Amino acid sequence: MTTWEPQTYLRYADIRFRAGLDLIARLPTLAYSLIYDLGCGTGYLTHILADTFPGSQVVGIDSSPEMLAEARREFPSLTWEQADIRSWAPSPPPDLIYSNAALHWVPYHQTLLPSLMMKLRDGGVLAMQVPRHFDAPSHLGLKELVIQSEWRAKLEPLLLAPVPAPETYWSWLAPHTRNLDVWETIYLQVLEGKDPVVDFMRGTALRPFLSALPEDESAKFIQAFSERMAAAYPPQANGQTLFPFRRLFLVAQR
């Protein structure tokens, strides 16, 4: 079970939430009576959804008690529920299911996304953003380290399946939608400090692996990963590190 660290995640809040805000900006102008934020994390974007659609009931859903505790502390007026996306069953059907950087943790998108579409009311919207960064040096380096490490048996099952191409998502969802928009954006993230790529990934991609190892072994794992990332992402002349990051978006109306 992955233990999430809200403050580690929020260390790069401005970068992490940018894609989610871009997704909100692309939502169709409709009347959304009931909105669910799947994988709401610390709740910042749930709060933005509530502000953007002030007449709507907005509910944040997450499986992490640590993240939900932070969300409840920061935004006590909103509704928060702990649930696993794979077994989540809303009632009544919502008008909008929104998910930012969460669904890539859930496998079998070929069946998951059509299932989420069927949970919407007729005319409802599914809006999703996920990283599609699995062929980048950061994630290839992580996979290589896991496979070559002494912890392979424990860590290899935690590797995520790559997110497929936009055309694949279109083929999965087009039969279930009246309107479908799928696109990608590469964000040129500019990071600061020592080991910035590792620090950025500590809040997300590295969490399952660090949760699975004892403290002394996780320190060795991080050291080995830091060496790979220093070679893959050397600092620029001004000391900053460029970390291009590809994200996939879709907005689908049932």
Q: Three-state SS for 137?
A: helix
pLDDT attached to residue 198: 95
pLDDT attached to residue 26: 97
pLDDT single digits (tens) 6-64: 666 667 778 889 999 999 999 999 999 999 999 999 999 999 999 999 999 999 999 99
Domains of the chain: 6-253 (3.40.50.150)
pLDDT attached to residue 5: 61
pLDDT single digits (tens) 71-123: 999 999 999 999 999 999 998 999 999 999 999 999 999 999 999 999 999 99
pLDDT attached to residue 10: 64
Write the Ramachandran bin of 178: left for phi over 0, alpha for psi from -120 to 50, otherwise beta: alpha
d(CA 98, CA 35): 7
pLDDT single digits (tens) 144-192: 999 999 999 999 999 999 999 999 999 999 999 999 999 999 999 999 9
